[in-house]
Structures are given as C-alpha cells and as structure tokens.
Amino acid sequence: MRWRFDRDELRLAVRSGDIIRVEAILEDQPEWADTTDGRGRSLLFVAAREGYNGRTTRLASLIQVLLDAGATVGPIEAVVLNQPQIVAELLAEEPGYATARDVEGQTPVHHAAARGVKDCMALLLGAGGDATAADLLGRTPLDLAVETGPWKAAPAVEVVRVLEEAGARMTLESAVALDEPGRLVRLLEDSAGGLERQGRRGGLLLHCAVRHGSTQALQTLLDAGADPNACDQHGRTPLIEAVRLLGEQELGEVVRRLLHAGADLSVRDGRGMRAADYASALGRKRAARVLSMLTG
C-alpha cells in the first residue's frame, strides 16, 4: 500500500511552518510525529528553533499539532520549549538526562544556554549538568549563552551568571559579546596576544565586537591597540563587517568609532568589495544614509 505522503514532505512542511500540510500528513500518519531531520533532531526541536523561541512564537500552533499527534517531549525538547516542569519531571525519572549528549555533542545544558532559559538551566545544573562541557565544535554552554541567533535576540545575561556560579569561565570573546569593558580589560591583562586571538566564528575580537554591536567593548579594544584595519579570513575589515551586518541604529556609533581610530575606507575584501560598495547594495534610501555615515 502506498501512502499519500512521505516523511520528507513532513520535514519540509514543519520547516516552512505549513500547519495545514503538517495536520494533513499527521492525520494520515500520526506515528510520524517523532520523525527526525537529517541531523537526527526531532521535528519538535526543529519547529521550536524556527518559530518558538526568544524571538518569535509564530509556530506555537504547529508545535501543538505535533504534540497532539504524540510527539515525544524529551529533555532537549522540554528545554527548547521552555518547560521547566517537564524538565524537572524527566530529571526525577532519570538524572542522567542532564549530561546526555546529542549528535552534535551538546547536552541539555548547551541547549538551555542557547535558548536562554534560566529556570531550565538551574534544574539541569542542580541535577549534575556540566557548565563547562564542550560540544564537538568546542563550544561550551557559556559560549552559546552569549550568542544571538535563531534562539534569542541578545545574550542571555542571567543564564551567563548562573553558569559562572556553576564554574564556567568567562572568555575574551564572551566578555566582548556581553559588552563588559571592565571584565574585558582584566581578561586582556591576563591573556598574552589576546587582541590577535581568532574568534570561533572567524575574525579577531574587533570583528566579534562589531558583530554584536558591542560599542563599549569595541572602544576598549581600540584603546588597547587593536588594528581597525585587521582582516578576517574573508579579507573583511571590522568596518566592512559593520556595514554588512549591523542595523542603522547600531551602525552609526560603530562606524564613528572605527573611523576615528583610523579605519581605511579604501580596503577591499576577498570579493573586491569596499565598505561603501556594500552600503550601495542596501537599497537607495538606506544606502544614502549609510554612505553619509561613512563619508561624514
């Protein structure tokens, strides 16, 4: 017997937020509610990542469809859905969940950090979760707590504090992301060659400060002697990176500080593009405003 649907259609429907399609497929094949994606992650996790997080709840109804069809809520799913009561119940049944690893080497502590959920984090650490564990890419929970991205729009400061109390150590990159100049100065004093240290996402600490819009950390690094024209692996200077990535509200102050420190507008990246070239590609009205920032 040939079914009307296949699992790939369900995966695509979940990722695209097509609740009508998801309902139709699961009505036909309810046992597919625990289908995983190509990386071994449950569709419940995928839906939460795409649309039920610190940025948006647009896929809340789709998640309910998965739950109604019997999707399993494991420790990672409970964390990303920010359900501390379920996390507590699961840990009571099996404390080992706090240190279990997924296909990327991440524990529920990593996921709680990435999601920025303090209550779930406290439960996991209380059950023996490791605040210093590294995943397969070498990322610790603290690294993920300070990152923005699909899970949250800003660093999870409260989660960072909980992790530090549990033994996590602040790094130069994390201090930059948190825009904490005092701690950054102390870490630079204790770290030889810190200004030239490569970040996890490429580039130097100055590029990291730009990506996060961390203006105080940016100024601290410039005052400490960071080169405003240093290039990342793509040949991009912090100024080019700022024009590429930042919104206008953050961009003006970052550009002002970089230009004052001697940033060179003529530098071209690996694609032969200058900061002004990226600005010109933003659309006429926005391009005019950004070019005005660059030229003063």
Give the pLDDT confidence of 119-144 residue by residue, as tens digits.
999 999 999 999 999 999 999 999 99
Q: pLDDT tens digits, residue range 263-289?
A: 999 999 999 999 988 888 877 567 677
Alpha-carbon span 195 to 149, nearest angstrom: 25
Residue 295 has pLDDT above 80, yes or no: no
pLDDT recorded at residue 201: 67
Homologous superfamily of 171-296: Ankyrin repeat-containing domain (1.25.40.20)
The stretch 73-91 carries a mean pLDDT of 96
pLDDT recorded at residue 133: 97
pLDDT recorded at residue 292: 76
Q: Are 147 and 114 in contact (CB under 8 A)?
A: yes
Half-sphere exposure (Cβ direction) of 251: Cα atoms closer than 13 Å: 20
pTM confidence score? 0.86
Residue 74 has pLDDT above 80, yes or no: yes
Residue-by-residue DSSP string for the chain: ---S--HHHHHHHHHHT-HHHHHHHHHH-GGGGG-B-TTS-BHHHHHHHHHSSSS--TTHHHHHHHHHTT----HHHHHHTT-HHHHHHHHHH-GGGGG---TTS--HHHHHHHHT-HHHHHHHHHTT--TT---TTS--HHHHHH--SSS-SS--HHHHHHHHHTT----HHHHHHTT-HHHHHHHHHTSTTGGGPPPTTSS-HHHHHHHHT-HHHHHHHHHTT--TT---TTS--HHHHHHHH--HHHHHHHHHHHHHTT--TT---TTS--HHHHHHTT-HHHHHHHHHHHH-
The stretch 245-251 carries a mean pLDDT of 85
The stretch 166-190 carries a mean pLDDT of 93
pLDDT band at 202 (very low <50, low <70, confident <90, very high): low
Residue 8 has pLDDT above 90, yes or no: yes
Domain ranges across the chain: 171-296
Lowest mean pLDDT among 13-22, 92-101, 150-159: 150-159
